Amino acid sequence: MTSTTLAATTGKWRDTGALPAAAAWYGQHDGAIVLGTGKVLVAGGADGASAALGQAALYDPEDGTWSATGSLRTPRRLHTTTLLPDGKVLVAGGISGSAQFPAPGLAAAEIYDPESGEWTSTGAMKGARWGHSAVLVDGKVLVAGGTTLRSGQSVRALRTAELYDPDEKTWTETGDMTDARSGHPAVVLANGRVLVAGGTVPIARDEDAALAYCELYNPDDETWTPTGALLAPRAWHQATALSGGASVLVTGGRAPGGPGDGTFDPFSRAGAELYVQYTGTWTAVQDLPGGRALHRAVPLGSGKVLVVGGGDNAQNDVGFASAAVYDAATRSWAPAGGLATGRWAFAAAPLSGTLVLVAGGVVRSGIAAAQPGAQELTASAEIFDLEGTP
């Protein structure tokens, strides 16, 4: 672990229009999408009882307001949303219905057309999955891993991967990953390969284990190969491309629990790591000013990254209001102005090189003894201005 010496607070938050309805987004790739028009789309997610939502909304940065747009054909959470080359948006997989175990996973996918504001069904994936990754590679969408049913009383992580062709509107199988995983981030590197880092595998009905294993997808031959492992296993972390994808910053992650030395760590990880594509290795960088998981990391201009919000324990936690900015040039953190409303599992999107939008999310969970696990959500939204005066 490296020490943290903080500079003066940078940047400022301001309130903006609220979502039409509160929602939370728990996945790595289910959040906000910036459309070609500059508007921001959010779709689906979960309500305070962890039931899937079908609602969708658009944020207009010109007037700072949200408006409802066409609803999803199938309500879903823990799905993926991907901007396609033609400006449309692909939503794939996820979980539908109420919170239950085992969950009814989806193979169905649908397309959002910004011109009509409507969703249409498209080809279904080869298999149902949720908590998977999805990135655009050579004009196609690469979906990998995730969770699916193992039996009537258990689930399992997947190694399988698929490619969606927007022109043909079809899915085809591609090479399997080296390791099964779910809840992992995927990042397209400068050399065109795709890095997946960490994630989880289910080990019991209510338990999963965090992974340090990472691997690379090569679109030329559609194969996966192992690459350097994270210095620490991570789940509910974030991965952000830097220098056009020549390096990747990983931040935070869920509380690791017992490290094997007889002690117990109840707090989320504060450690951060940097992956360099040319060496395939991870190195530690300065620790975050406070551990967190289920936060968001959003790239800013000039090689900087905003890390905001998050929490320690999704079962009984209050969302963090704190934020920090990472500077790739100095490999150091500076504290940023704090959110007006602390939150985790929210949507976030860059509006420019210096502006970031955050919306919705969980304010706190375990809100009443009569409602164990119930969560208080927010519809509020805020904008971070890197150049704003604190």
| Cα 25 from Cα 31, distance rounded (Å) | 6
| Residues in a beta bridge with 93 | none
Work out the average pLDDT over 160-186.
98
Amino acid at 355: L
Half-sphere exposure of 236 (CA within 13 A, CB side): 26
How much is the average pLDDT of 129-135? Answer: 97
Q: Are 54 and 44 in contact (CB under 8 A)?
A: yes
Return phi, psi of residue 244, to 5°.
70, 20
Q: Which segment of 63-72, 250-259, 348-357 scores lowest on mean pLDDT?
A: 250-259
Cβ–Cβ < 8 Å for 376, 364: yes
- Can you tell me which residue has the tokens 């891993």? 145
Q: For 242-281, write each residue's pLDDT tens digit.
A: 989 999 999 999 866 544 444 445 556 889 999 999 999 9
Edge to edge, what strands does the sheet with 89-92 contain? Answer: 80-83, 89-92, 109-113, 118-122
Q: Is 160 helix (H, G, I), strand (E, B) or coil?
A: coil
Please check whether residue 51 is in contact with residue 373, taking contact to mean a CB–CB distance below 8 angstroms. no
Q: Kindly tell me the burial class for residue 298, based on how many C-beta atoms sit within 10 Å of its own C-beta (0-12, 13-18, 19 or more).
A: buried
Per the structure block, which two tokens stand in for 346?
């929210």
Which residue shows structure tokens 């939150």?
A: 343
What DSSP designation does 67 have? E
Asked if residues 296 and 251 have their Cβ atoms less than 8 Å apart, the reply is: no
**Cα gap 81→25, rounded to integer Å:** 11
Buried b (16+ CB within 10 A) or exposed e, 29-68: bbbbbbbeeebbbbbbbbbbebebbbbbbbbebeeeebee
pLDDT at position 366 is: 67
Cβ atoms < 10 Å from Cβ of 327:
17
pLDDT at 101: 73
Q: Residue 102: is the preceding peptide bond cis (ω within 30°)?
A: yes
Structure tokens at 259: 């490290």
> Whole-prediction pTM value?
0.93
pLDDT at 41: 98
